[in-house]
């Protein structure tokens, strides 16, 4: 196992390099980069017509300023200053080498449009995404595994049929659409104003007592978690059911019944471990998926400042350091999670030996 682990860890390096290289050049040649964004902000008078120059001073750009020339646009001097500020005065290959060197040291630089470093933005956003991922994954597993086992035991019954109908309907409704529906129904839309519309905590959170803080947090997270859970438990429920059905029909179960063991003993002593191999070993990947993919639109809809919302805003603003920084973290965690998943397979079922392959 040790040699397999070392090989997989070494494989992460070229994989990261290839992914970053492809995305770097694709994003660099895409239209509407940060220089274009800054020029458009100045010409449209956005943010009081100010731009941060390389000397960290703010220069006002308005109709009375020498750099703005009306219909002729900006003076080449200010355009050159903006390009230098964002590092676009260098050739693309030089920017690529600098990016790789910095990323090796986990130096992601500073955001173009937020007054903070990329690493601080990621660290500040992680608790929200992790919170959503933990609660969603935990609830999905707590619901799906017992429900899937019960459906397998009562395969073909009315309960199995109607629960499958509910599961299919829940799976067919996208999480973001369900989130919008929950907002309309329970967040001051046309019906009830029960839950908050945005944010993870209230403005006076720091002044609340411990128990009130817990209630406030659960009050805010209720709708986002509901939207994510409804769309996520269907796949795991059906996987659990099919896994148990497959095991129940095997010869060792027939032998156990012939020996006089009860159905409960057969189910939980013999079938459970074999049937939950794929389910348990897939937990790390499911958790990471909830953090980095499933929660993106939910964070945008409910204005939750997590990694999903951070990455979305960075793409809209063409904030390259934030885009590359979040991509680097996503890819690294994804590769490590895949390795953990494989190791979990080996720990749960000793018959699986990736090293022999």
pLDDT along the chain (357 residues), means of 10: 79 87 80 68 52 40 43 60 70 84 83 83 86 87 88 87 86 83 80 80 82 87 86 81 85 84 79 76 72 76 83 81 84 82 72 62
Q: CA 90 to CA 96: how far, in whole Å? A: 10
Contact 253, 247 (CB under 8 A): yes
**Residue 230 CB neighbours (<10 A):** 19
Sign for the CA dihedral angle at 13, 16, 19, 23 comes to: negative
Q: Which residues contact 201 (CB under 8 A, 6 or more apart)?
A: 213, 216, 217, 220
Domain span holding position 93:
32-105
In a domain, 233, yes or no: yes
**In the chain, how many domains are there?**
2
Nearest to 220 by CA among 192, 186, 195: 195
Residue 168 falls inside a structural domain: yes
CA angle 45, 121, 197 (to 5 degrees): 75
Question: What CATH number is associated with residue 219?
Answer: 1.10.3720.10
Q: Are residues 268 and 167 in the same domain?
A: yes
Both 291 and 237 in a single domain?
yes
Do 72 and 200 sit in the same domain of this protein? no
Say if residue 179 is in the same domain as residue 87. no
Cα-Cα-Cα-Cα dihedral of 136, 138, 142, 147, to 10°?
Answer: 40
In a domain, 135, yes or no: yes
Tokens of 192: 């009830």
Whether 273 is in a domain gets the answer yes
CB 337 within 8 A of CB 288: yes
Q: Of 43, 72, 105, which residue constitutes the final position of a domain?
A: 105
21 phi and psi, to 5 degrees?
A: -65, -50
Do 140 and 99 belong together in one domain? no
Does a structural domain hold residue 24?
A: no
Q: Tell whether 78 and 177 lie within a shared domain.
A: no
Identify the domain boundary among 81, 105, 129. 105
Do residues 237 and 318 both lie within one domain?
Answer: yes
Q: Among 46, 71, 105, identify where a domain stops.
A: 105
Residue 40 forms part of a structural domain? yes
- Sign of the torsion formed by the C-alpha atoms of 299, 337, 319 and 30: negative
Specify whether 64 is located in the same domain as 185.
no
Q: What global pTM score does this model have?
A: 0.72
pLDDT, position 336: 84
- Which residue shows structure tokens 């958790």? 287
**176 and 291, same domain (yes or no):** yes
* Gap between the Cα atoms of 55 and 82, Å rounded: 11
Give the pLDDT confidence score for residue 67 in this predicted structure. Answer: 47
Question: Does residue 298 belong to any structural domain of this protein?
Answer: yes
Distance, CA of 277 to chain centre:
25
Q: Do 229 and 312 share a domain, yes or no?
A: yes
146 and 51 inside one domain: no
Place of tokens 């703010």: 58
The kind and range of the H/E element at 250 are none
Note whether residue 228 is domain-resident.
yes
CA–CA separation, 324 and 20 (whole Å): 8
Which long-range contacts does 20-27 make (Cβ < 8 Å, 24+ apart)? Answer: 20/99, 20/100, 20/103, 20/324, 20/327, 20/328, 20/331, 21/96, 23/324, 23/327, 24/96, 24/99, 24/324, 25/92, 25/96, 27/320, 27/323, 27/324
205 and 256 belong to one structural domain: yes
Q: Are 326 and 310 spatial neighbours (Cβ–Cβ below 8 Å)?
A: yes
Pairwise CA distance, residues 77 & 67, whole Å:
7
């Amino acid at each position: 196992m040790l040699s397999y682990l070392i090989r997989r860890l070494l494989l992460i390096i070229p994989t990261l390099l290839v992914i970053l290289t492809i995305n770097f050049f694709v994003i660099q040649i895409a239209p509407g980069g940060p220089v274009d964004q800054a020029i458009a902000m100045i010409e449209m008078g956005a943010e009081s017509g100010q731009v941060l120059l390389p000397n960290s001073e703010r220069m006002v750009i308005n109709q009375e300023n020498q750099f703005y020339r009306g219909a002729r646009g900006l003076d080449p001097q200010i355009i050159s200053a903006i390009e230098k500020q964002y590092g676009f005065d260098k050739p693309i290959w030089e920017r690529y080498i600098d990016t790789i060197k910095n990323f090796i040291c986990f130096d992601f630089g500073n955001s173009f449009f937020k007054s903070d470093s990329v690493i601080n933005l990621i660290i500040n956003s992680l608790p929200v995404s992790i919170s959503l991922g933990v609660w969603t994954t935990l609830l999905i597993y707590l619901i799906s595994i017992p429900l899937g086992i019960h459906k397998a035991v009562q395969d073909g019954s009315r309960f199995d049929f109607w629960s499958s109908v509910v599961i299919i309907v829940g799976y067919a409704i996208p999480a973001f659409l369900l989130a919008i529906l929950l907002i309309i129904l329970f967040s001051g839309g046309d019906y009830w104003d029960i839950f908050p519309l945005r944010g993870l905590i209230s403005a006076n959170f720091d002044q609340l007592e411990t128990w009130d803080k817990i209630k406030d947090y659960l009050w805010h997270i209720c709708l986002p978690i509901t939207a994510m859970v409804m769309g996520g438990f269907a796949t795991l429920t059906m996987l659990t059911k099919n896994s148990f059905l497959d095991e129940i029909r095997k010869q060792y179960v027939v032998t156990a019944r012939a020996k006089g063991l009860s159905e409960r003993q057969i189910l939980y002593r013999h079938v459970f471990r074999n049937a939950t191999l794929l389910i348990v070993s897939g937990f790390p990947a499911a958790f990471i998926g909830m953090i980095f993919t499933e929660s993106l639109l939910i964070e945008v809809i409910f204005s939750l400042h997590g990694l999903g919302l951070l990455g979305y805003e960075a793409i809209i603003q063409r904030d390259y350091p934030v885009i590359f920084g979040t991509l680097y973290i996503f890819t690294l965690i994804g590769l490590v999670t895949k390795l953990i998943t494989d190791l979990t397979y080996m720990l749960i079922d000793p018959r699986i030996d990736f090293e022999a392959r």
